Each structure stands twice: as structure tokens, then as C-alpha cells.
Structure 1
Amino acid sequence: MTYKDNYLKVRNTLALILGLNILVALAKLIYGLMTKTSSMIADGFHSFSDGASNVVGLIGIWIASKPADENHPYGHHKVETLSTIVISFALFIVSFKILVNSYNRFMNPVVPKINVFSFIVMILTLIINILVVRYESKKGKELNSSILISDSKHTESDIYVSISVIVSLIAIKLGYIFIDTLISAIIAILICRAGIQILREGINVLIDGKMIEAEKIHKIVMEIEEVIYCHKIRTRGKQNHIMIDLHVGIDKNHNIDYCHKLSHRIEDTLKKDILGVEEVIVHIEPASEDNTHT
């Protein structure tokens, strides 16, 4: 599958998830405002942040899919990672706003108007969220897309949030009104936690963190008969675009043409055996007299 084909599949998945997230957010937010239930309102904003992350993701992968050019010889792949970082900051903003609202509601309590429709709205949106997470996570792994995987984690937190809101509704019916404000604050903390997780993963890509254990690459390369040793293995990139560079020692009597063909064979082997590997730079060097490297 080409990067463009992959981009189109990721884009279509995000567009579908965006529509569902907006539907879920509107249902929670509108009914939360009607019943003055702060936990439902907070959950509605949480779902809207899911939709916002979808929009950021769509923009990010559109730019990331552009081919390499004179000013960007390595392509635009890291724009997708930047998009996930924008998503994390959006989560921090939503979290802060919900905490402020929770504090205001704690200082000035409001009795929510809970009825059977409140439970119906939350249960239906919960079911949609579960289906969305399963679908988006599956597609993220299938397409090896960091934006889909990070977005599915964001939406996954919505499941626990919705469950907590249902618990809050039950508590309110039993007369424990303060639970509504407490759950709203907990939701804010969960949103912030999801943002930190996404931010850490994005930063790891931007600072060229290790993507694959060197031992795994070493084992694959050493299975090639002509290779005497393999060292100085480095990896970087993101899940769907991993870059590897390594040094390989072979018999010093081989000519340039042989070395060139061998380097391509090593590259093809790594791309075939490790999902997500897109670029491999092989430095061929002559083995020493005792067939070791210095």
C-alpha cells in the first residue's frame, strides 16, 4: 500500500469518526444544558474535543501526505506528529475549563433535573463510543497510523467518562447532588491524563526516540549468510514511517557491485520483516582479519 493510499484510508476513517463524535457531543451537551447536569455538560465538551482532534488529524495527515520537495527532502511526515501534540494541548484547555466550571458549581450548587431520558442519552452515546474506539483502534493498527491510534486513546477515555456520568446520574437521583460536581472534576483529570500520554508519544517522535529494539534488527540482519557482523544500529521516526541506519561487516574481498546488491537485500529484508519500516541506510564495511568490528 502506498503512502497516499494509506492517507486516504486514514482520512476516510477520521471523517466517519468526526461525524459520530459531533453527534454524540451534541446529544450530551444539549441534554446536559437542558437538565443543568454539570457532569453531562463536561462529558459533552469532552466529546467535542474528540471532534476537534479529528479535524486537527485530518489537516495533519493531509499535509503529511505531501511528497518530499526541495525544501523538505525527507517529506512532511512529522506534521502528523505535530497534529497529535496540538490534540494534547486542546485536551489541556478543555480540562482546565471543566475544572473551573466544577469549582463554580461547587461554590454555587444547582440541582439537576434528572429523568429517564438522561439515562437513555448517556447509554446510547456510551454504546456509540465503544463501537468508535474498537473501529478506530483496529484501523489505526491496520494502517499503522499514529494519529488514529492516539485519537482512539482519546475517545477511549470518553467511555470511562460516560460510565462515570451514569454513576453521577444515579447518585443525583438518590439525593447526592455534590457527586455531579465531583464527577465533573474527575472527568477533567482524566482528560488531562489522556493529553499527557499523547504529548509524551508525540515528543518522543520529534526528538527521534528509539522505535525498535536494536536486538530485533540485529537478529534479522545476522540471518543473512554474507553478513559477518552488524552494529551501530539506530532507529527513529513514527509507527508508520520508521527509519533505520546500521553498519554491516562483510568479507573485504567483495566488490562494490556485490556490496550494493547486498545492502538492497538487507533493506528489503528489514522492510518485509518489520511493519512500518520505510527507509533503511546500510553502511557496508570490511570485516577485520579476525572477522570482527572495531
Structure 2
Amino acid sequence: MDNRFKQAEFATWVGIVLNGLLAVMKGLVGWLAGSRALIADAAHSASDVAGSIAVLAGLRTAQKPPDADHPYGHGKAENVATIIVAILLIVVGVEIALSASKVFFGEVPSAPKGIALIAVLISIIVKELLFQYKNRLAKKINSPALQAEAWHHRSDALSSIAAFVGVLGSIIGQQMNYPILLYLDPLAGLLVALLVIKIGYSLAKESGLIMMEQVLDKEETEPYIETVQQVRGVSRVDELLARTHGHYIVVDIKISVDPTITVAEGHSISKKVKEALLKKHSNINKVFVHVNPYSQEPS
């Protein structure tokens, strides 16, 4: 197992342990304190645990080397894990929204107890620290699954802030005899739900594009083309297609060479093109080169 996956797996396990503890704490305190927002927040943390387990499975699959059935490697397993996390977020968001909205259809709200505020503050601090840690690591090792998990933590931190406002507002409303403020707690729960659904949709959409093998745009592939043009013997880059395959890039390229050289010489040039791309661009993992005889019109 290389260092990249060791770091990602360690970070995932940290998330599983801390999220598990937070989910239990917020769920218990939310139930004792009578806070819909905090119970919704606990469900969000619980979904983090399930998402982290999916990410862990994806990371372990993604590190497997290419085989006969998967010649491009198993990198997309991370994107599959990301989609699972996204679906979990959407499902949890819908469930939270349904629960929180009941109060707007006849159910009389009540203010939660003050202990709920302490639980929410602890959650905000822990979740934001987890986001900062995993977001920086995800960028460092280029892991889409870990990036998704990081934003899952950020969404939990933001939902905890919403829960804090809701709980505090409801308590103030009860103490100052402003019944309207009692609705802030369930309203915060509904806001949390919408935030969770939005983040889940964004993650699913991004990973879906990768799964559909959308190629990188011209601006992103320009550095690759410049690298190939510097290889001696390459007369022209006819076409370069690059696509994300999990945490790495797969490149398919067509080059034109002098039509009078031997097949062996053309093969040597294609090998140099492959070596140049792999050496200069660490995010590229696979390169497939097609050699064309040079002519005035690109092949």
C-alpha cells in the first residue's frame, strides 16, 4: 500500500471514530433536550459514518493494480464511493426535511433545553477541524473520495451552526415569551436538510461527469500538448484527449512523425512521448500513443 492510500485511509478512520461519537452525543442530547435541529444534526453525522465506510471501501479498491478486466486500473472506485456518499446525503436530507416540516402542519413546537447548545458547539468545532484536515490532505494526494468526505464534514459544520441558531432562538423565545421564536429550532432543521441535499446533489453531479468519462477541456490539456511538442521527432500533435480516472489522468494522443522513418523509429518516438508525459505530469498514470505519418492535413 503506497503512502497516498495510507494517509487517506488514516484520515477516513479518524472521521469514522469522531463522527460516530458525535452522532451518539448529538442524538442523545437532542432527544433529552427536545431539539429537532440537534436530532437532525445527529442524523447528518450518522450519515457521515456510513459515507466514510463507503469511502474506505472505495480507497481500498482504487489502490488495486490494473488487471485483465480493468486495464485502466481501479481508480474510479473512488468516484463510486463519492456517489454513494452523495446519495446518503440526499436521503438523509429528505428525511430531515420531512421530520422538521411536521411542526408547520399543526404540531406545536417547544423550546429545547440549554444543554443542546453545548453539544452543538462541540460539533461545530470538531467538524470544522475535520474539514480542514481532510480538505488539505485531499488536495495534496488528489483524492476525489476524500474531497467529498471533507465537504460532508463542512456541510455538517454548517448544519450545526444552523442548529445552534435554531436552538438558541427557541430558548430565547420561550424565556421572553415570544412563541414565534419557538419555530426557529424546526426551521433550522429544515435549513440543514436543504443544505445537505444541495451538497449531495453537487457531489453526485461532479462524480457523475467523471464516471461518464467527460474529457478535460482545452485549457487543462494545453500543458500536456506543450510537453509532447518538445519531444524530438514529433512533427505535430494531431489530437490529445485526457480524462479523469479516479485520482489520476488517462491520456490518449495522436501524433504525426516523418513518414520516411522506420516503424522502429516511430515506436521510439511514441515511447519518448509517453515517458515525457509521465515524468513531467505526476497526475498522469496512463498514456496511449497513436503514430500517424505527417501530412499537411491532420489525421
Compute the TM-score of the two structures, normalised by the length of structure 2: 0.90
Segment drifting more, 66-75 vs 100-109: 66-75
- Partner amino acid for 1:255? T
CA distance in 2, matches of 1:61, 1:25: 24
Match status 1:274 vs 2:272: no
The structural deviation recorded for 1:43 is: 0.9
Number of the residue aligned with 1:87: 85
Number of the residue aligned with 1:249: 256
Q: Is the 8 A contact 2:26 2:41 kept in 1?
A: yes
- Matched ranges for 1:96-245 at <5 A: 96-106=94-104, 107-115=106-114, 117-175=115-173, 176-211=181-216, 213-245=220-252
Number of the residue aligned with 2:18: 20
User: Percent identity between the aligned chains?
Assistant: 25
Segment drifting more, 240-249 vs 272-281: 272-281
Give per-residue Cα distances to partners, 1:178-219, cap 9 Å, x unaligned: 011111111111111111111111211111012353333222
2:8 to 3, 7, 10: 10
- Matched ranges for 1:37-56 at <5 A: 37-56=35-54
Number of the residue aligned with 1:62: 60
CA distance in 2, matches of 1:266, 1:233: 12
- Partner amino acid for 1:198? L
CA distance in 2, matches of 1:222, 1:72: 30
CA distance in 1, matches of 2:168, 2:122: 16
CA distance in 2, matches of 1:280, 1:137: 29
Segment drifting more, 204-213 vs 190-199: 204-213
Q: Is the 8 A contact 1:146 1:238 kept in 2?
A: no
Give per-residue Cα distances to partners, 1:228-262, cap 9 Å, x unaligned: 21022112233522100011112223333332232
- Partner amino acid for 2:58? G
The structural deviation recorded for 1:112 is: 2.8
CA distance in 1, matches of 2:269, 2:85: 43
Cα RMSD (Å) of the superposition?
Answer: 1.9
Q: SS state of the match for residue 246, structure 1?
A: strand
The structural deviation recorded for 1:109 is: 2.3
The structural deviation recorded for 1:4 is: 4.2
CA distance in 1, matches of 2:208, 2:62: 17
Q: SS state of the match for residue 108, structure 2?
A: coil
Q: Is the 8 A contact 1:114 1:172 kept in 2?
A: no
Give per-residue Cα distances to partners, 1:241-285, cap 9 Å, x unaligned: 210001111222333333223222222222233342100111122
Q: SS state of the match for residue 237, structure 1?
A: strand
Q: Is the 8 A contact 2:78 2:246 kept in 1?
A: no
CA distance in 2, matches of 1:31, 1:262: 67
Q: Is the 8 A contact 1:36 1:110 kept in 2?
A: no
CA distance in 1, matches of 2:28, 2:246: 38
CA distance in 2, matches of 1:68, 1:272: 20
Q: Is the 8 A contact 2:97 2:193 kept in 1?
A: yes
CA distance in 2, matches of 1:132, 1:235: 32
- Partner amino acid for 1:112? A
Compute the TM-score of the two structures, normalised by the length of structure 1: 0.91
CA distance in 2, matches of 1:16, 1:37: 27
Number of the residue aligned with 2:176: none
Q: SS state of the match for residue 226, structure 1?
A: coil
Give the 3 Å change call, closer, same or farther, for CA 70–266 of structure 1 in structure 2. Answer: closer
